[in-house]
């Protein structure tokens, strides 16, 4: 745990580096509404390749909504729509007519707050994404399942019981299984919506370690209620309040020397 905290800032890009790299996700002037209720106000934000970005803020501040905008999961909600502004991934506007939402979701994976493996075997859970894409070859699927489970640091624990029901796993294992399931479809960006909120501290620690490992290969956006967690795992942190982006900067700076009063109040526990 300690090690994680010390290594994380070291590997994160400095402000100068950030400016020179093309962002993986570029959000510009985004307004988002549920019906007539505006939940995101004029948010602009860049997320860079292979960094861990944490969204923090009190409940109802729009951080989860923003996350779900990034792979258009909000399409499922009746009346959800974009007011103005755009979200681009590699320069492509996600709401362009030519964007196939299925392809988008393969590239932008998502891990949910409540671990929700399918009530099937561990193997079938990880293979699911490949099977719905029509991958038939058993060899390819087997290989991919093992690879994904290894990446999710779950292989050693489950390799002898791949055919058992996933609900026999502990909560933390289930969440890592969900991460493995996401990894199997080879995304580039992984969105995590409070992935540890239902886990005990030990399981949380393992998931956090996993996130730090994964950021070598993936761009990761984490929504979290837990400020210490944001401090431990993220390179940069964005603080939201009442649907507005208050501040976004290197995590270290946000926690040690925030530039906005609201941020400081929230960090120091004056509200929220």
Partner 1 sequence: MSPEKEPRHPFATRLTRERVQESVMFGLLRGMTFFVLFCAAFLFWDIISKGSSKVFEGDELINWEFLTEHPQTLHVIGEGEDEIKLSSSNYYKLKDEKMLNKWGEFRQSDEHDPARRELAARFSQLQNEWALESLLVADEKFLVRERENAANKFAFWKEMLADPKTTAEDFEIKVEEVPSMVTQFMLGHFEKERGRLSLVDEKVTLFRARHYPKIENLSTAHAEEVEKAYLAFLAKIPEAYNQSVAAFGGEITNSYDEFVQTEGPKEFGRFAEALVAYSAARNVLLGPDHDLENWEDLQASLAPFKQAMAVSLPSKDYAYSGGGIFPAIIGTLLLVIGAMAIAIVLGVFCAIFLAEYGKAGKFLSMVRLAILNLAGVPSIIFGLFGFGLFVIFLDWNVSLLAGWFTLAFMVLPIVITASEEALRSIPQGFRESSLALGATKWTMIKTSVLPFAMPGILTSSILGVARAAGETAPIMFTAAYAKRSDLPWEGLEHWTDFFFQGVMALPYHIYVVSAKIPQNAYTADMQYGTAFVFLLLVVGVASLSIILRNRLRKKYRW
Contacts of 180 (CB under 8 A, 6+ apart): 125, 126, 148, 149, 151, 152, 154
3-class state of residue 37 by DSSP:
strand
* Rounded Cα–Cα distance for residues 149 and 161 (Å): 13
Should residue 120 be labelled a site residue for partner 1 when binding is judged by CB under 8 A?
Answer: yes
> And the tokens for 164?
């058992």
Phi, psi of 254 (to 5 degrees): -60, -45
Should residue 197 be labelled a site residue for partner 1 when binding is judged by CB under 8 A?
Answer: no
* Rounded Cα–Cα distance for residues 9 and 4 (Å): 9
> Least separation, in Å, of the C-beta of 219 and partner 1?
16
Should residue 167 be labelled a site residue for partner 1 when binding is judged by CB under 8 A?
Answer: yes
Question: Is 129 or 172 the residue whose CB approaches partner 1 more closely?
Answer: 129
Residues in the interface with partner 1 (CB under 8 A) total: 27
Q: Are 262 and 270 in contact (CB under 8 A)?
A: no
Should residue 103 be labelled a site residue for partner 1 when binding is judged by CB under 8 A?
Answer: yes
Question: Is 62 or 117 the residue whose CB approaches partner 1 more closely?
Answer: 117
Quick one: which of 119, 142, 213, 259 contacts partner 1 (CB under 8 A)?
119
Which residues are near partner 1 by CB under 8 A?
71, 73, 76, 78, 102-103, 105-106, 109-110, 112, 114, 116, 118-120, 128-129, 131-133, 165, 167, 178, 181-182, 185
């Amino acid at each position: 745990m300690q090690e994680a905290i010390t290594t994380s800032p070291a590997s994160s890009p400095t402000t100068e580096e950030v400016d020179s790299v093309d962002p993986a996700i570029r959000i510009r002037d985004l307004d988002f509404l549920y019906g007539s209720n505006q939940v995101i106000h004029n948010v602009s934000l860049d997320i860079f390749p292979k960094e861990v970005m944490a969204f923090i803020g009190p409940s109802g501040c729009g951080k989860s909504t923003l996350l779900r905008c990034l792979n258009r999961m909000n399409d499922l909600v009746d009346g959800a729509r974009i007011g103005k502004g755009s979200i681009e991934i590699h320069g492509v506007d996600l709401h362009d007519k030519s964007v196939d939402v299925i392809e988008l979701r393969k590239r932008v994976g998502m891990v949910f707050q409540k671990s929700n493996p399918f009530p099937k075997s561990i193997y079938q859970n990880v293979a699911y994404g490949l099977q719905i894409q029509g991958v038939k070859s058993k060899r390819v699927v087997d290989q991919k399942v093992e690879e994904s489970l290894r990446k999710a640091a779950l292989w050693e624990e489950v390799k002898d019981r791949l055919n058992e029901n996933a609900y026999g796993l502990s909560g933390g294992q289930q969440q890592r299984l969900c991460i493995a399931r996401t990894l199997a479809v080879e995304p580039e960006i992984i969105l995590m919506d409070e992935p540890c909120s239902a886990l005990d501290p030990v399981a949380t620690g393992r998931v956090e370690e996993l996130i730090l490992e994964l950021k070598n290969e993936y761009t990761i956006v984490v929504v979290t209620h837990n400020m210490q967690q944001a401090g431990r795992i993220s390179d940069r942190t964005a603080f939201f309040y009442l649907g507005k982006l208050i501040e976004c900067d290197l995590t270290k700076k946000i926690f040690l020397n925030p530039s906005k009063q609201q941020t400081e109040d929230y960090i120091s526990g004056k509200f929220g």
